[in-house]
Every structure is written in structure tokens, then in C-alpha cells.
Amino acid sequence: MDYLLSVDVGTSSVRAALVSARGKVGPIAVSPIQVWSPQPHFYQQSSEDIWQSVCKVVRDVTKAVNPDQIKGVGVDATCSLVALDSKHEPLTISPNGETNQNVILWMDHRAVDEATFINNTGHSVLDNVGGKISPEMETPKLLWLKTQLTESCWNKAGLFFDLPDFLSWKLTGDETRSLCSLVCKWTYDAHKRCWNENFFEKIGLIDLKQNQWRAIGTNVKNPGQSIGNGVSSEVSQQLGLNPRTPVSVSMIDAHAGALALLATNAPGIAKDFESRLGMICGTSTCHMAMARTQVRVPGIWGPYYEVILANTYLLEGGQSSAGKLLEHIIDTHPATASIKIKLNTKE
């Protein structure tokens, strides 16, 4: 039987699964990843910690199959910001300087002032994010790194990745970026297939234009396309995969979930995806709606062009930390401890 290898990096864990060509999910493995919070509103991770967990879960789910049976690899992850230096080593994003902490987690809100500054420009780019950029997006975070960690981070930076693209790069060694990540979180222009130079100049990040914007992405592909020559020889040994196993362009985790829901077929569910609203529930809840035409709604992210499917637009809303709040209610409820004991003892 042939399989596709699927890897999903969430907020606090990494998951991998083998999926047959007919959509049957086989072995699943899960591994936790660390989150540091050195001060309120700061949430940080380590790309090396994440990658080691990816390696672990991939080895766990593939150990019982022949590498020849794995015909492709797909990855998704949270829209977190990864910083690497000119030698492609982890570069601190921490105010305390911890070298291994080089990922600003998606839910980090250190860049509130920078987001306000960007929004006050009133630039037309903001029309694609409902008129207002979020501090959870990458442009405000990049501006924060430039102004707050100039010497320890910005001046030493070589590459900045959205986490899904970082994983693709680790797998293949190819710096190709995903249209999904760049359009939704980095203000990339999907129609013109370019960065808006005037916008970056206006917000003080025009230095990212150097080397044809290599630091944030020169080559960009749509989700579903293949990257480079597939799994590199070095990584194939780490993961137990064949070299050159095809790797798909990555997606943000919630957007991958929306793609999966498009295939849903059940009584009472309209076949036309434009009449559906997908709710992707995790640490947050993301509400995803697809359209064939461009629709702008104040306060709603998008319309994002071709970030999930070709020739379609995405509109996105949601509730930040909704899942985390539910988890908090459960964890702090007086009955939780006794329920866990009963579950563990199977009473």
C-alpha cells in the first residue's frame, strides 16, 4: 500500500500520520514541543526543538513501512516567525538573549505598538487584512525585531521564515515559500506575485528588499505544488525516508484544515464550497469561508487569493485563544482531578 506522510505542527505538539491514497489514516504519533513566556504577551519557541519532535514522530509512524511506500510529504504548522542568522543557525528573538529561542509563536503580542504604527499608515495593503493588521502577523513582529533587537537579531539575520516554510526548507534545503503563508501573514501580493515595495518603505522595512527579498521570500509557489528535488539526502537519513521523496508546498495549519473540510461529503452539507463556513478548532478557532469572487469585509481578514485553492479567495475570522480558554476552564474545574483519576483507572 502507498502512503502520504502528513506532519502537523501545532502550538504545543507535533503530530505525524500516514494516510493511504484512499484517505484512510494509519499510524499516528505525537510529540510535545516547548513554549517559553519570559514576560506577559511574549511566547517563544525553538526551531531545533520543533525539528527534533518532527524527526521523532516521522520515525515513529514510518518504522513499520518500506520507504518506497511513502510517495509524498505534506506539512502544515502554526504561523509563527522563525529567525535564522547568515549561516542559517538559530537567531535569538528573545529579549533575554536565549540563543535557542528563535521562534516568535503565533499568539505572541509583543508587537502591538508596531501593528498600530503600520495601521496608522492607512496603506492600501491593509485592505487585504480587513483594514487592520494584527500583532500576530509577521510584519509587525519583524518591525519589533528591527527596533527592539537591532544588534542581537536584526543586524545578524539571514532568513526569516513562517514556520510551515521553515519545515519545507528543513526537508528539502529549498527556500521556496508558500503563497498561503506569505499572503495571509506577510502582506505578499498574490495577484502581482510580488512584495509591495512602497509599503515596506513606508513602514521602515525596505532593507528586506536586499538580494531580491531573499530574507523573506523570493520564490513563491501555491499549495499543492512540489518543492525543489524533494527530501534531501541528509534529511532522508534523519527521517528514514527515501531521498527525493516529493515534498508539497506547505500550508498554515488552520488553512490545511479548511482544505480538508472542502472534501466533506455528508447529508445536509452543500456541495458548493461557497456556501460553507469551516470552523477549525485548536488553540484558537478560525472561521474560513471561500469565494470565487473578491469580497472585502471590514474587520475580516482577506480576501486572500489562491492561498488554499487556485482561482479562489479566502475570508477568515475567528476567536483567538478560544480553545486555550476552554482548556483553562477544564483544567481549573474542581471536578477535573477526580475525572482524570477515573479515566486513568478505567472506573
Q: List the CATH code of the domain at 3-265.
A: 3.30.420.40
In angstroms, rounded to a whole number, what is the distance separating the alpha carbons of residues 332 and 329?
5
**Domain ranges, ordered by start, for the chain:** 3-265
Instruction: Provide the residue type at 36 as one letter.
Output: W
pLDDT surpasses 90 at 200: yes
pLDDT of residue 284: 84
The string of pLDDT tens digits covering residues 239-291 is 999 999 999 999 999 999 999 888 778 888 778 888 888 899 888 889 999 99
- Residue 155 C-beta-side C-alpha neighbours within 13 Å: 6
The span from the CA of 259 to the CA of 240, in Å, is 28
Tell me how far the alpha carbon of residue 141 is from its chain's centroid: 15
3-state secondary structure of 262: helix
Structure confidence at residue 93 as a pLDDT band (50, 70, 90): very high
Average pLDDT over residues 147-168: 98
CB 228 within 8 A of CB 186: no
Tell me what the mean pLDDT of segment 280-309 comes to. Answer: 92
- For 302, the 3-state DSSP assignment is strand
Find all residues with CB under 8 Å of 110, minimum gap 6, and list them: 41, 42, 104, 135, 141, 144, 148
Q: What is the mean pLDDT of the chain?
A: 94
Q: What is the DSSP string of 165-200?
A: HHHHHHHHS---EEHHHHHHHH--BTTTTB--HHHH
CA distance 160 to 147: 16
- Top mean pLDDT of 166-170, 288-292, 320-324 is at 166-170
CA–CA gap between residue 204 and residue 146 (Å, rounded): 9
CA nearest to 210, candidates 160, 170, 172: 160
Residue 100 has pLDDT above 60, yes or no: yes
Q: To which residue does cell 531521498 refer?
A: 243
Chain mean position to CA 214:
19
Of residues 85, 71, 75, the one with CA closest to residue 53: 75
Confidence grade of residue 319 (pLDDT, cut at 50, 70, 90): confident
DSSP label at residue 48: H
Q: Are strands 220-221 and 177-178 parallel, antiparallel or unpaired?
A: parallel
81-102: average pLDDT: 97
Instruction: Please report the pLDDT score of residue 16 as a whole number.
Output: 98
CB neighbourhood size of 39 (10 A): 9
Which residues fall within 8 angstroms of residue 258, CB to CB, at 6 or more apart?
278, 280, 286, 288, 290, 308, 314
- pLDDT (average), residues 153-180: 98
Model pLDDT, residue 346: 61
Q: What is the mean pLDDT of residues 49-60?
A: 98
> Which H/E stretch holds residue 117?
helix 112-120
Q: How far apart are CA 13 and CA 10, in angstroms?
A: 5
Phi, psi (rounded to 5 degrees) for 66: -75, 135
Cell triple for 232: 534531501
Q: State which H helix or E strand residue 53 sits in.
A: helix 47-62
pLDDT attached to residue 57: 98
Say how far apart CA 130 and CA 122 lie, in whole Å: 12
pLDDT (tens digit, 9 = 90+) per residue, 109-125?
A: 999 999 999 999 999 99
Residue type, 261: L
pLDDT at 347 exceeding the cut of 60: no
Q: Write down the residue that cell numbers 516521522 correspond to.
A: 58
Q: What percent of the chain has pLDDT over 90?
A: 82
